[in-house]
Structure 1
Amino acid sequence: MSAALLVIDSRLRAVYDGKSGTDPERQRMVDEIVASFGPTEAEELLEGVCTLIYMYMKWLRSAFEEHDEDAVDHVVPSLVATMRMMPRTFCAEVVPTMAALLIAAGSGLSPTLWRAQYGPWTEAEMNPLEATAVLLAEYINRISGNGNDFAIRLVGDALAALDRD
């Protein structure tokens, strides 16, 4: 989970810094961590990204329910429109998968359990999956108005609370 949070945080920083890439030092650290992964750690990173998506959608469900609105009605169309504007990251074939992933998480279903019914993730879906998590975190940062790192802090605080318990 920590590695997934690090990757998403790194990508968000690049977005907010307006750079075409990430901070070289931070990218080197992320690359070293990912390069050290074996199959088990790679699975855990994938699970971590899915968990982030689930946690973000859970937070959004709560936030929208306070206003008697459905998060899926707001989040999915916005993110799908963004995905369609990014054809190098989201080829047309993966957009329905990423939308369904968001809908599943927005309905309270674990993205990992949802995906299990359709087979394993493919290599072609890894970049779009990561980008979906980044778009979702950026969406939360934007609507919360609590800074460019709110989504990361949200999860970090939840993990810290688990450690204390």
Structure 2
Amino acid sequence: MAGLLVALEAIDEVVVIIRGSEDTATARDALMERFSLSRIQTDHILDMPLKRLTALEVRRLEEEQAELESAIAGHTQLLDSEKRQRTLVLAELGEAVEQFGRERRTEIVHADDLPVFEAVGGGRRRGRRALRGHLSTSGHVGRLPAEGAKRATPGRHDVLVAQV
């Protein structure tokens, strides 16, 4: 940004240097030496279209440079002050709480506080037979007769645990 403003202030000299150069590399070297610019700044000057030479565009570039310098100063102050960093983090956390915060919907209880349920008899009673319990990666729990052959059925292909 500063390189463009330097070039715009001395635009006549920049044009003379560019027109008097054999090629882009020579023009780049001459501009870098004359105005103490970096290669990137010089490349931006050489790539600059003529429409950027208008007074309105110059003012816009000056305003943009002032904004960038102000932002750099603010960021430098932030980096230099631990108190400002903490204040900023707290403010951002507060915004996150406002946006995403809500009461917890599940209750966390200790295992000793859980109720104990007794087995409930009911329905038709079949003869006692061994069953195989299944737990799948998709969260399904099921049971099958233990003596049956293992078979792949829809929903049973992702079994994690099978216990008799």
Q: TM-score range by the shorter chain?
A: under 0.3
Q: Decide which structure has greater helix share.
A: 1
Please give the TM-score of this superposition, normalised by the length of structure 2: 0.25
Please give the TM-score of this superposition, normalised by the length of structure 1: 0.25
**Structure showing greater Rg:** 2
Q: Decide which structure has greater strand share.
A: 2
